[in-house]
A and B are shown apart, each in its own frame.
Chain A
Amino acid sequence: MEFEKDSDLRLVQLSLIAKIIASFTHEVKNHLAFIKESAGLVGDIMESRKSLTKQDVQQSLNVLQSVKDQIGKTSDLCNYLNRFAHRMDKPLSTFGVNETLEELLVLLHKLSSQKRIILERDFDKNLPAIHSDPAKLQFLIFCIIEEKLRRLDNNSRIIVKSAHSSESITIEVIPRGNSVETVEEGICPHEICQYLIKQLGGSISQEAEEIVVTLPVAGSPLHNVP
């Protein structure tokens, strides 16, 4: 039974990653398209005129600047993907929860913007680092967010909030908006979430539509077992 859960887990995890990659790719494609268009525009300006007016020059400069900005954005996005990908390197490490949440939210941006749902962050700046499995944590939060994304109407918001107490860290996923009925099947079955939180040594609670994930600061007890 243990194994079956694990392999099911893997499959779902792969689905999650696939979704994130799809989202990333989509976004990068957009950026690239913009860059291409911009470069094309400058090219057109260059080609069409015999000589360039000051306006042309200024316009070109502006366009080129936006290209550079876009590069920056794309580069950032790649950075996030890179960090996200590396979370899977080790099953146990010391990491900052906010960073992992940020990666997730950045990478899910495209996904959420499809329904014009805004992902908001409310991070505790003094959140202590924890020693746990970052990939599993991202996986869990993703599962929760993914479900909310499906259940919310367009133009809603999801707030991801982090907080801590002396012994634990809490991550709250707070949907703000109207719910919709959906026949679409989610990626993560309920049992997976239960399994994950157990592996992380924490707990999940639900109040109305808000979901709270609590993790011990000392690290997941299960993982301490060699």
Chain B
Amino acid sequence: MRKIFTRFLNTLFHPHDYFRILGRDRYKSLKIRIVLLDAMISLVPLIIVVTISYFWFQSILKEDFRNQVKWEIENTEQSIEYFVDGKVSALRFLASSYSYKQLSDQKMLNDIFTKFENEFSGLVDLGLIDSNGIQQAYAGPYPLIGKDYSNQEWFNEVIVRNVYVSDVFMGYRRLPHFAIAVKKNCPEKRSFCILRATIDMKILKRFASTINLRENDDAFIINHDGILQTPSQFHGDVLNKFKLPVLIPERGVSVLDLKELNGGPAIFGYVPITNSPWILVAVVKSTPYLRIPKIFRNELLLISILSVFIGVTVTFLMAQTVVNRIRKADQEIEDAMAKTEQASKLASIGRLAAGVAHEINNPLAIINEKAGLMKDILDMSGDLQQNKEKFLGLISAIFDSVNRCSTITHRLLGFARRMEATHEVLDLNDIVKEVIGFLEKEIAFRNIRLELKLKEDLPEIESDKGQLQQVFLNIINNAVDAIEEGGLIEVSTRVKDKNTVLVSIRDTGSGIPKNKLKSIFEPFYSTKEKGEGTGLGLFISYGIMKKLGGIILVESELNKGTTFTVEIPIRAGDGEGGHV
């Protein structure tokens, strides 16, 4: 795993090691690296930020929603509480306003009931129960006069508590009700009596429903035993048992996150309703807070994708521009170098020609004088015998001068021939051997072992001898300098493919550090002391090979050595910008 990762990093930062890309492809790889790096640098934070924002936003919304649920539950609880309080107060008022006599009067009770009913929503009946639990008077739809409640819990409770709110119960006709009972002092009876009102559960249900319910949500009222007081959507009907997942505190709203209550997460909110036996429960499964993030996410995604796209495009364009500028600048330098090279070549040959013309003058002048002198002697002196030696000497001098002229012009001719880049048919091995010949002394002097592995039957190539030799000379010279003392230089030739032959020059010198490898072909790159070498050797060699349709490749390892490989096309290619 590590290996793959390291490999990936290496490819990213040092593609040269893997592709040995030199020349034009160098720019493509540079471009790719810039774009990738830039994209990564801009993408990664963007992704991180977007992700964080998303989850953060979601959690805020969720929190918000929970608070909303809590608030709604609270509100509803208060409403119910006030309602119940209100009803209790009303009943109390009734109880205190009327005497036992009045209340036990059926007609009066009916009357009170009718009036009460108008104001009292949900009131089902009203009844007066004596201290024995017998309903003495009753106003309402059911025939409940004389009913004995003495065994009922509520009766006993209200005796103790003075006020009692009951749980919902299945009343007559199987309709759920709850009752509020208040104890009243009945001095006539020398005891107490109870005024009881039955209220339709629908009222409670209505309250529960005020909680803003969405499709999958459920709000209902239960008692402390978990018996549903109002019907619920998903958790059972009235008077069914609802399993309480938690312990209900005495007071206050609690909101919990529950996992998979009938599948999926839910918010479970509950609050005991003060002054009542009930607990308000809301089970909220809906997740509206997710819906918003969805939109958010869509838009965010869109914007992100758009920005990534724009970013990458801009990066790419910028990389393109920058790399093109670099390439252009490099090209300009190369061109300027080549131009300088050419111009200086022209200037030098001009100077050489002029120099030759000048140099020849001297020997010509000599011949002139010698011949002139001979003429004079012949003209003026009669006795030639004594001058014979002299004459022969003069003639000999003329010969010398003629030879001198010849040498000068010969040199000029040689130089001129070298000026002409020609495509000749060449034997690569011979060329290599010739170059080695120039350096043999130096190599031997430095105790460097030389190994030649020249393939026999190497196909003849069509190229420029002078320029190839210049390249080999340069590289081998560098190899010699890299070794300094002792060591080995191995020169080999072989066929690469049907179009190419190669010359490899390997040395066991100090090697080139990997991070410098791509710079060695740049102009003015030199590891030599100031003043030694121009740093142009490899640069020019590289340009020469490019023009000849070949290429120079290099591999190196510190302290192990370096291998330069020169690839030469068998047929004179068109190198870039190459021409004769």
Direct touch of chains A and B (CB < 8 A): yes
Q: Which residues of A contact B360 (CB under 8 A)?
A: 28, 74, 78
Interface string of A70-91 (1 = CB under 8 A from B): 0100110011011011101100
Interface string of A1-33 (1 = CB under 8 A from B): 001101110111111011001101100110010
Interface string of A168-179 (1 = CB under 8 A from B): 000000000000
| A68:B371 contact, CB within 8 angstroms | yes
How far, in Å, is A134 (CB) from chain B's closest CB? Answer: 12
Q: Which residues of B contact A78 (CB under 8 A)?
A: 356-358, 360-361, 364
| A88:B347 contact, CB within 8 angstroms | yes
How far, in Å, is A9 (CB) from chain B's closest CB? Answer: 9
Contacting A42 at CB < 8 Å: which of B342, B395, B410? B395
Q: Is B392 an interface residue (CB 8 A)?
A: yes
Contacting B409 at CB < 8 Å: which of A17, A28, A60, A68? A28
Bound: A6/B417 CA distance, A: 21
| A14:B368 contact, CB within 8 angstroms | no
Q: Is A218 an interface residue (CB 8 A)?
A: no
| B346:A13 contact, CB within 8 angstroms | yes
Q: Which chain B residues numbered 314 to 372 have a C-beta less than 8 Å away from chain A?
A: 335, 338-339, 342-343, 345-347, 349-354, 356-358, 360-361, 364, 367-368, 371-372
| A61:B378 contact, CB within 8 angstroms | yes
How far, in Å, is B542 (CB) from chain A's closest CB? Answer: 16
Q: Which chain A residues numbered 83 to 102 have a C-beta less than 8 Å away from chain B?
A: 84-86, 88-89
Bound: A85/B356 CA distance, A: 10
How far, in Å, is A24 (CB) from chain B's closest CB? Answer: 8
How far, in Å, is A52 (CB) from chain B's closest CB? Answer: 5
Q: Is A200 an interface residue (CB 8 A)?
A: no
Bound: A57/B383 CA distance, A: 11
Q: Which residue of B lies closest to A88 (CB)?
A: B350
Contacting A64 at CB < 8 Å: which of B349, B374, B415, B421? B374
Q: Which residues of B contact A14 (CB under 8 A)?
A: 345-346, 349, 419-420
How far, in Å, is B82 (CB) from chain A's closest CB? Answer: 94
Q: Which residues of B contact A42 (CB under 8 A)?
A: 374, 391, 395
Q: Which residues of A contact B338 (CB under 8 A)?
A: 7
Q: Is B413 an interface residue (CB 8 A)?
A: yes
| B345:A81 contact, CB within 8 angstroms | no
The interface-forming segment of B115-123, B398-406, B427-435, B517-525 is B398-406
| B349:A17 contact, CB within 8 angstroms | yes
| A15:B413 contact, CB within 8 angstroms | no
| A15:B364 contact, CB within 8 angstroms | no
Q: Is A221 an interface residue (CB 8 A)?
A: no
| A36:B385 contact, CB within 8 angstroms | no
Q: Which residue of B lies closest to A81 (CB)?
A: B357
Contacting A86 at CB < 8 Å: which of B350, B379, B402? B350
Q: Is A65 an interface residue (CB 8 A)?
A: yes
Known: A78-B364, A82-B353. A11 touches B413 (CB 8 A): no
| A36:B364 contact, CB within 8 angstroms | no
Q: How large is the interface on B (under 10, 10 to 19, 20 to 34, 35 or more residues)?
A: 35 or more
Bound: A74/B404 CA distance, A: 14
| A15:B420 contact, CB within 8 angstroms | yes
Q: Which residue of A lies closest to B396 (CB)?
A: A43
Bound: A61/B378 CA distance, A: 7
Q: Which residues of A contact B419 (CB under 8 A)?
A: 14-15, 17-18
Q: How large is the interface on A (under 10, 10 to 19, 20 to 34, 35 or more residues)?
A: 35 or more
Q: Which residue of A lies closest to B420 (CB)?
A: A18
Q: Is A67 an interface residue (CB 8 A)?
A: yes
Bound: A17/B577 CA distance, A: 22
Bound: A21/B398 CA distance, A: 24
| A10:B577 contact, CB within 8 angstroms | no
Q: Which residues of B contact A84 (CB under 8 A)?
A: 353
| B364:A75 contact, CB within 8 angstroms | yes
Q: Which residues of B contact A6 (CB under 8 A)?
A: 339, 342
Q: Is B530 an interface residue (CB 8 A)?
A: no
Q: Which residues of A contact B416 (CB under 8 A)?
A: 17-18, 21-22, 25
Q: Which residues of B contact A7 (CB under 8 A)?
A: 338-339, 342, 577, 579
| A28:B405 contact, CB within 8 angstroms | yes
Known: A18-B417, A42-B391, A82-B353. A25 touches B409 (CB 8 A): yes
| A71:B412 contact, CB within 8 angstroms | no
Q: Which residue of B lies closest to A37 (CB)?
A: B402
| A22:B413 contact, CB within 8 angstroms | yes
| A86:B375 contact, CB within 8 angstroms | no
Q: Is B580 an interface residue (CB 8 A)?
A: yes
Q: Is A35 an interface residue (CB 8 A)?
A: yes
How far, in Å, is A36 (CB) from chain B's closest CB? Answer: 5
Known: A35-B402, A47-B392. A85 touches B353 (CB 8 A): yes
Q: Is B174 an interface residue (CB 8 A)?
A: no
Q: Is A39 an interface residue (CB 8 A)?
A: yes
| A82:B354 contact, CB within 8 angstroms | yes
| B371:A39 contact, CB within 8 angstroms | yes
| B406:A29 contact, CB within 8 angstroms | yes
| A60:B378 contact, CB within 8 angstroms | yes
Q: Which residues of A contact B399 (CB under 8 A)?
A: 36, 39-40
| A3:B579 contact, CB within 8 angstroms | no
| A10:B345 contact, CB within 8 angstroms | yes
Q: Is B243 an interface residue (CB 8 A)?
A: no
| A4:B577 contact, CB within 8 angstroms | yes
Contacting A85 at CB < 8 Å: which of B357, B367, B405? B357
Q: Which residues of A contact B372 (CB under 8 A)?
A: 64, 68
Bound: A74/B364 CA distance, A: 8
| A71:B368 contact, CB within 8 angstroms | yes
Q: Which residue of B lies closest to A45 (CB)?
A: B391
Q: Which residue of A lies closest to B404 (CB)?
A: A32
Interface string of A99-124 (1 = CB under 8 A from B): 00000000000000000000000000
Q: Is B303 an interface residue (CB 8 A)?
A: no
Q: Which residues of A contact B405 (CB under 8 A)?
A: 28, 32, 74
Q: Which residues of A contact B406 (CB under 8 A)?
A: 29, 32
Extra inter-chain contacts (18) besides given A17-B349, A32-B405, CB under 8 Å: A4-B579, A8-B579, A13-B346, A14-B419, A21-B416, A22-B416, A25-B412, A28-B360, A29-B409, A32-B409, A39-B402, A51-B384, A68-B375, A78-B358, A85-B349, A85-B350, A85-B351, A89-B347
**26 examples of A-B residue contacts, CB within 8 angstroms:** A3-B335, A3-B339, A4-B579, A8-B580, A10-B346, A11-B421, A13-B346, A17-B349, A24-B412, A25-B409, A28-B360, A29-B409, A35-B398, A39-B398, A39-B402, A40-B395, A43-B395, A51-B385, A52-B384, A61-B378, A64-B371, A64-B378, A67-B371, A67-B398, A85-B351, A88-B347
Q: Which residues does A use to contact B, with CB under 8 Å? A: 3-4, 6-8, 10-15, 17-18, 21-22, 24-25, 28-29, 32, 35-36, 39-40, 42-43, 46-47, 50-52, 57, 60-61, 64-65, 67-68, 71, 74-75, 78-79, 81-82, 84-86, 88-89
What 5 pairs between A and B have smallest CB-CB spacing?
A82-B357, A85-B353, A85-B354, A21-B416, A88-B350
